[in-house]
Amino acid sequence: MPIIEKISSEAIINLENKYGAHNYHPLPVVLNRGEGVYVWDVDGKKYYDFLSAYSAVNQGHCHPKIVGAMVNQAQTLTLTSRAFYNDKLGPYEEFVTKFFGFDKVLPMNTGAEAVETALKLCRKWAYEVKGIAEHEAQIIVCENNFHGRTTTIISFSNDENARKNFGPFTAGFIKIPYNDIDALEKVLATSKNIAGFLVEPIQGEAGVYTPSDDYMMKAKNLCNANNVLFIADEIQTGIARTGSLLAVCGNCSCENKCERQETYATPDILILGKALSGGAYPVSAVLANDAIMNVIKPGQHGSTFGGNPIAAAVAIAALEVVDEENLIQNARFLGKLFRSKLNEYIQTSSIATLVRGRGLLNAIVINDTEESDTAWNICMALRDNGLLAKPTHGNIIRFAPPLVMNEEQLLDCVSIIITTLKAFEK
């Protein structure tokens, strides 16, 4: 591109500042190309992507199979709305339900919409199947949850920044501490009209807060015993990210789809998004069996773009890539290697105190206060050293590369991370 036409990073950032709402605080790097585990900035500098768009790009940037499916479908038929049938939705619905082992799917676009859909489905089931009196249904959620940004979802967030001056809020939610099975047991025993329990198998936004291995299974069993729907938000943790197809599989030894493993807790309602399209297109889904999903009748819920032919074609390709390229096994193997290398370093580190996570969803805790800018400064230095990551909560940095990474690349990244951290030691 001729120099004259090329806009500098600074100019592009200024455009966003001037014309865009300031609802994000991006790391100052302007990307214009991605391939596999790499992204490039406008000056041609290459980086390892260690965020993967919050785990949407599990299959790697611009995966040729996924892009191919998208381009093909875009040239054929893009949108019919659900007023008519299209020839891609039915085959996708069969594919995705068999892939995850449910009777039915309700297709949406973004993660937050799928969470909203799950909440509506849970409430409707509570009134029409469980027999709770209208307007009385309660859904249990966890402290420090992140489920998206709609008014109802932020109603049960405890992130003041996400809530302040956005009220009034939606009623009907009870908050309990995360990873506290006694708290769940107690609220189920003492509260009336409980319809569901909505939970992240690992709290990604909260800082990759990883619960004990049996938390999901015990929570599911308690829900079962109380006729309460166990709703898993796997938007960030699902689709191979944590070294199993779903993170509700826990830390079992099975290397594929873990239905028969001891720690596996089949959700009554499963929420997927992000990597369901490999980051190519907004595709989300709510999965459940007939006894639950059949409470939704024509006209009661919908979305103009939900289940459109491009989304259907892209999602099939994205899930096929997960199997064809063994992303579950790769995430599991590289995750163990990553944590063991970082743990080795942390033994003697004065700047990093902890690494935690499962598969390739990990975080390190920086030895400074949540209010400090140390983690941000480390991310700036990582950027300068060719690796992009971002703090989640003040002093926590999430590390979530695309799952198509190989061992050599991962070791290269470990070396960049450790070298960078060492420069911050006192």
Ligand X SMILES: *Cc1c(COP(=O)(O)O)cnc(C)c1O
Residue numbers annotated as active site: 146, 233, 274
Query: Which residues, numbered 359-388, are part of the site for ligand X (CB under 6 A)?
Result: none
Binds ligand X (CB under 6 A): choice among 47, 146, 215, 305: 146
The SS3 call for residue 91 is helix
Binds ligand X (CB under 6 A): choice among 58, 59, 73, 110: 110
Lookup result for tokens 């892009």: 67
Q: Which span sits near ligand X by CB under 6 A: 25-33, 140-148, 159-167, 187-195? A: 140-148
* Residue 286 binds ligand X, judged by CB under 6 A: no
Contacts of 301 (CB under 8 A, 6+ apart): 106, 117, 120, 121
Supply the minimum distance, in Å, between the C-beta of residue 198 and ligand X.
10
Contacts of 104 (CB under 8 A, 6+ apart): 93, 97, 287, 288, 289, 290, 293, 294
The C-alpha angle 225, 273, 167, rounded to 5 degrees, equals: 80
CA distances from 100 to 180, 217, 319, 358 (A): 27, 17, 10, 20
Lookup result for tokens 């990990």: 362
Q: Which span sits near ligand X by CB under 6 A: 61-69, 72-80, 107-115, 241-249? A: 107-115
Supply the minimum distance, in Å, between the C-beta of residue 200 and ligand X.
5
| Cβ nearer to ligand X, comparing 202 with 410 | 202
SS3 string, 227-292, reads CCEEEEECCCCCCCCCCCCCHHHCCCCCCCCCCCCCCCCCCCEEEECHHHHCCCCCCEEEEECHHH
* Residue 201 binds ligand X, judged by CB under 6 A: no
Draw the binding track, 46-85, toward ligand X (x: CB under 6 A; -: no contact): --------x-------------------------------
Determine how β-strand 229-233 pairs with β-strand 173-176.
unpaired
Binds ligand X (CB under 6 A): choice among 36, 107, 201, 204: 204
* Residue 116 binds ligand X, judged by CB under 6 A: no
Supply the minimum distance, in Å, between the C-beta of residue 271 and ligand X.
7
Largest CA distance in the chain: 69
| Cβ nearer to ligand X, comparing 73 with 109 | 109
Binds ligand X (CB under 6 A): choice among 107, 111, 250, 279: 111
d(CA 81, CA 346): 53
* Residue 207 binds ligand X, judged by CB under 6 A: no
Supply the minimum distance, in Å, between the C-beta of residue 55 and ligand X.
7
Q: Which span sits near ligand X by CB under 6 A: 97-105, 111-119, 301-309, 399-407? A: 111-119
Binds ligand X (CB under 6 A): choice among 108, 112, 265, 364: 112
Q: Which span sits near ligand X by CB under 6 A: 3-11, 120-128, 143-151, 261-269? A: 143-151
Tell the burial category of 335 from Cβ atoms under 10 Å away from its Cβ (0-12, 13-18, 19+).
buried
Query: Which residues, numbered 258-277, are part of the site for ligand X (CB under 6 A)?
Result: 273-274
Tokens at 93, concatenated:
């619905």
Supply the minimum distance, in Å, between the C-beta of residue 283 and ligand X.
10
Identify which of 326, 232, 314 has the alpha carbon closest to the alpha carbon of residue 275.
314
Supply the minimum distance, in Å, between the C-beta of residue 418 and ligand X.
27
* Residue 316 binds ligand X, judged by CB under 6 A: no
Q: Which residue is nearest to ligand X, using beta carbons?
A: 111
Task: Cite the DSSP H helix spans in 211-326.
Answer: 215-225, 290-293, 309-324
What are the backbone dihedrals phi and psi of residue 176, each rounded to the nearest 5 degrees, phi first? -130, 160
| Cβ nearer to ligand X, comparing 198 with 421 | 198
The SS3 call for residue 210 is coil
DSSP β-bridge partners for residue 356: 363
How many helices and strands in the chain, by DSSP H and E? 14, 15
* Residue 178 binds ligand X, judged by CB under 6 A: no
| Cβ nearer to ligand X, comparing 125 with 146 | 146
Supply the minimum distance, in Å, between the C-beta of residue 143 and ligand X.
14
* Residue 211 binds ligand X, judged by CB under 6 A: no
d(CA 206, CA 400): 14
Lookup result for tokens 């300068």: 384
* Residue 233 binds ligand X, judged by CB under 6 A: yes
Q: Is the peptide bond before 91 cis (omega within 30 degrees of 0)?
A: no
d(CA 197, CA 213): 18
With CB under 6 A as the rule, give the number of residues binding ligand X: 15
DSSP β-bridge partners for residue 173: 139
| Cβ nearer to ligand X, comparing 241 with 341 | 241
Residues in contact with ligand X by CB under 6 A are 54, 110-112, 115, 146-148, 200, 204, 233, 235-236, 273-274
